[in-house]
Amino acid sequence: MKTMRLTGATALLLLATGLHAGCERHETSPPPMTPASRTASGVELATEQVASARCARELGCDNIGPEKRFSGHEDCMRSLWSNSYDDLGACEDGVAREVLRACLDAISQTKCSDAIQHLDDVAACKLAELCVD
């Protein structure tokens, strides 16, 4: 009888082990996909390009550095990105690429004596033409 209990206990242990092993996955499955935390929109990318062009102009006009309009490149980008997004944020359906290229060229060619407070201050950067209808 003891052998039967031992055999019964052993069988129960083997059954439990077999059930547990049967629940495990043996095939290799790909890691779960995780979505990107955030993707940039066309307006955000255009804003980045405009801010970069404007900061390049500010650097060329000697407005970046200690005791200047912008303390450094990061300060310039932060300020002009925000300013540019205030303008381009109105482009709900996106920004026209060809018009944006012309705008970026015009920014780089704008004289240092000509202030750019908003994109509309540059003839080639009119929001009515930049924004996709």
**Percent of the chain whose pLDDT exceeds 70:** 69
Q: Quote the pLDDT of residue 88.
A: 95
Give the span between the Cα atoms of 60 and 97, in whole angstroms: 25
Composition of the chain by helix, strand, coil, percent to 5? 60, 5, 35
Q: Quote the pLDDT of residue 38.
A: 38
Looking at the domain assignment, is residue 50 inside a domain? yes
Q: Quote the pLDDT of residue 133.
A: 79
Looking at the domain assignment, is residue 67 inside a domain? yes
Q: How many domains does the chain have?
A: 1
Q: Which domain holds residue 86?
A: 42-130
Looking at the domain assignment, is residue 19 inside a domain? no
Looking at the domain assignment, is residue 108 inside a domain? yes
Backbone angles phi, psi at 70, to 5 degrees: -120, 135
CB atoms within 10 A of CB 20: 9
For 17-51, how does the pLDDT look when each residue is reduced to its tens digit (9 = 90+)? 454 454 444 445 455 544 443 344 689 999 999 99
**Percent of the chain whose pLDDT exceeds 90:** 66
Looking at the domain assignment, is residue 58 inside a domain? yes
User: Residue 67 above 90 pLDDT?
Assistant: yes
